[in-house]
Amino acid sequence: MVKLTPLKPGDTIAIIAPGGWVEADQLERAVARAQAGGFNAFIHPQCNLRHGRFAGTDTERLNALHEVFTDPHVKAAWCVRGGYGAIRLLDQIDYDLIRRHPKPLIGLSDITALLVALYQRTGMVTFHGRMAGQTAQVLCPESERLLWSALQGQFYSPSGLPGYAPEIMVAGRASGKLLGGNLAMLSSLMGSRDQVRLNGAILFIEETNEPLYRLDRMLMQLSRAGREGLRGVIVGDITSPADVKDSKWSAASILHSHFAHLGIPVVTHYPAGHIPHQTVLPIGAEVELVAEGEVELKVTAPVFI
């Protein structure tokens, strides 16, 4: 595993946009949040570009990613938003460059493509966490504390988050590498070089606003691609508009049909995803999932130097 350097107060965090174009107020919020956490913020000029639905061309977004990783003054890269576009960069990224200049990358949703690819191709842990440009209405002081603590090398239980109530579908405990993210993005990576490698993994998934049949279809794709060696499952926030008026067809029943029979611990309603109150998940880190009466996710091997 490639070790990271923990952030310290006063360090500079670069704001980047690997996917959709960005509004000015999103950048303002990103700067304010970094400063409130005790850090400096550098908005990469690429964030101000527009090319169709993207924050610049593929080349411009790729160059921004490379530049913030090689800039010695930048200690972390924080994605301002998702949308769509990160997957378009994967085959052009200089992974050797990233490996030589490791630093935390934070994001979720569309950024899942980067989180998974960068870990699997370089061994550098990435961070599934709050986007830099999230609106003030969804800011949560405890979520912010968990984010800044994680980037400084301290991983705390999210039990202090408002509404924290994970549920155990299948009890047990398991250890492995934490992998996953947004289910739609994981599905889109199937059959490619960056397909998530589930052997020996604790799989994390989350999804928002996908119809139930699409949720089932994506889980079917994940299953048919092979789940051999999967050691545990953590399901974050799953929201889906009802597409069938049948109490037996729901997000909960679909998840149960895919995971309950695997003989491994399965936890649902974990505080991660497209929600106001969420924790930070280190993608690629060695973790232990405990689902015995209470739920606990522990990082068991050092992520930072």
Q: Encode burial over 43-79: b for 16+ CB neighbours within 10 A, e otherwise.
A: bbebbebeeeebbbeeebbbebbbbbbebeebbbbbb
Beta bridge partners of 174: 289
Distance of CA 27 to the CA centre of its chain: 20
In the numeric block, the tokens 């947004």 are attached to 182
Catalytic residue among 142, 188, 206, 210: 206
| Dist. CA 140–CA 104, nearest whole Å | 21
Closest Cα to residue 279, out of 264, 260, 266, 298?
A: 298
Beta bridge partners of 41: 13
**Ramachandran angles phi, psi of 18, nearest 5°:** -75, -10
Catalytic residue among 109, 143, 188, 240: 109
**Ramachandran angles phi, psi of 205, nearest 5°:** -135, 150
| 149 among known catalytic residues | no
| Dist. CA 5–CA 289, nearest whole Å | 25
Catalytic residue among 44, 128, 269, 274: 274
Q: Check if the beta carbon of residue 184 is closer than 8 Å to that of residue 210.
A: yes
| Dist. CA 89–CA 77, nearest whole Å | 16
| 73 among known catalytic residues | no
Crossing angle between the packed helical segments 212-225 and 251-259, to the nearest 10 degrees = 10
| 210 among known catalytic residues | no
Q: Which residues form the catalytic set?
A: 109, 206, 274
